Structure 1
């Protein structure tokens, strides 16, 4: 029995070491493909994606932070206040931060479960400990689903508006951010009244973040 326990512990430590190396490597290495991209590639028969550097993402960082995680520069990956608020109000979206979404989108799967949530939390803390905030946003902006079979803000900018991400206007960036919760069902180019109103709120939030230092953890924040 002791030998079995030692073997299990030894292999567990090896697996943990491999996972840590993979996550740490993500600070520099572009993820080749994600689980969600594979699923959509099988469903759609093709993918639209084009990796861009952080400095090529135009106004998108401010827009997605305003839309998804306004305290991105203040928290350590897990926003405890947002989690508590989400638990108290069933109408709110889940309390997932952008870092948690990176952990899920790059390393895990979409189906919700306690197992995934536990792994997601652990990976989130490791990402925050080893990646810069700039890198976290860069990866998020390149792997987020932004349309049916469309991934990343460069592909989204081309798909919805026919421009590069760096050339998006603040309004266009806000509209892309507004469709993120349901990118297969919403249209950034021909927005519904809901998306239009949501985009206006996001644009206001992005302007507020710029003025009050809410983007200070990022270059040119």
Structure 2
């Protein structure tokens, strides 16, 4: 029993040390801009090992202060990703439940279609699942955590989400998010996205340009390859209509 207890003690100490490390990093972000995120480092490793699928080699990212990001882009991202951003405390439990119900229905329909496609000798497609994560949750995941989908990682995400909300202002959370979120392969942050797609700084994005960038966020690498898709255009129009109601921190 003693060796087992020692191992359990070591695991608890290691877990506490990791949590403390995460909390200290978040506290430092109140004044220090993060140089990279866990997601970006993972992407950089994949590029180093496998290369870029689009053949490019440069990594595009440039930090800009909150004031130098177009209010249109801030409103578009809030309207698209997290309409209650300034009101909630980091987690929208109702949105998570709605997403769970939508995904369960999507998987049920996909299973029926898959059986039909296999009967015809065709390869079925995976269902498109939607998340209910807030902007703060997305930031917690991308900043500090791996991309694996487990209950333990989800629990860790919720703890870090609460820490972000307690230690940072809503404006700072949105600033860090917009400067680090992925907008295509090797394209991170609002400034890099604005320059790459529209050849202009993030401060000068129009309402329609901002909406197009916001719509890309759930699947940026996919939309990067089909910028002229009808879905992107119609979804952008929906976001433009929602933007006046999106309140900024």
Structure 2 residue 41 is the aligned partner of structure 1 residue 38: yes
Number of residue pairs the alignment of both structures matches: 212
In the alignment, structure 2 segments of 5+ residues that lack a partner are 107-128
Structure 2 residue 75 is the aligned partner of structure 1 residue 62: yes
Structure 1 length normalisation: TM-score? 0.87
Q: Distance in 2 between matches of 1:153 and 1:20?
A: 26
Q: Distance in 2 between matches of 1:8 and 1:114?
A: 18
Structure 1 position 165, deviation (Å):
0.3
Q: Distance in 2 between matches of 1:40 and 1:21?
A: 24
Residue pair 1:103, 1:120 contacting (<8 A) in 2 also: yes
Structure 1 position 156, deviation (Å):
0.2
Structure 1 position 11, deviation (Å):
5.0
Partner of 1:195: 232
Higher mean C-alpha deviation, range 91-100 or range 54-63: 91-100
Partner of 1:156: 193
Structure 1 residues 8, 117: closer, same or farther in 2, change over 3 A?
closer
Structure 2 length normalisation: TM-score? 0.78
Q: Distance in 2 between matches of 1:109 and 1:8?
A: 19
* Pick aligned residue for 1:124 from 142, 161, 173: 161
* Pick aligned residue for 1:135 from 166, 172, 175: 172
Higher mean C-alpha deviation, range 38-47 or range 65-74: 38-47
Partner of 1:89: 102
Partner of 2:28: 25
Partner of 1:111: 148
Structure 1 position 180, deviation (Å):
0.9
Partner of 2:184: 147
State the secondary structure of the residue aligned to 2:191. Answer: helix
In the alignment, structure 1 segments of 5+ residues that lack a partner are none
Q: In the TM superposition, what whole-angstrom CA distance separates every residue of 1:146-202 from its partner, at most 9, and x where no partner exists?
A: 112100110000000000000000110000001111111114994311001111111
Higher mean C-alpha deviation, range 7-16 or range 84-93: 7-16
Structure 1 residues 34, 14: closer, same or farther in 2, change over 3 A?
closer
Structure 2 residue 196 is the aligned partner of structure 1 residue 183: no
State the secondary structure of the residue aligned to 1:16. Answer: helix
Partner of 1:50: 62
Superposed CA RMSD? 2.2
Larger Rg: 2
Partner of 1:100: 137
Partner of 2:110: none
Query: Runs (4+) of structure 1 moved beyond 6 Å?
Result: none
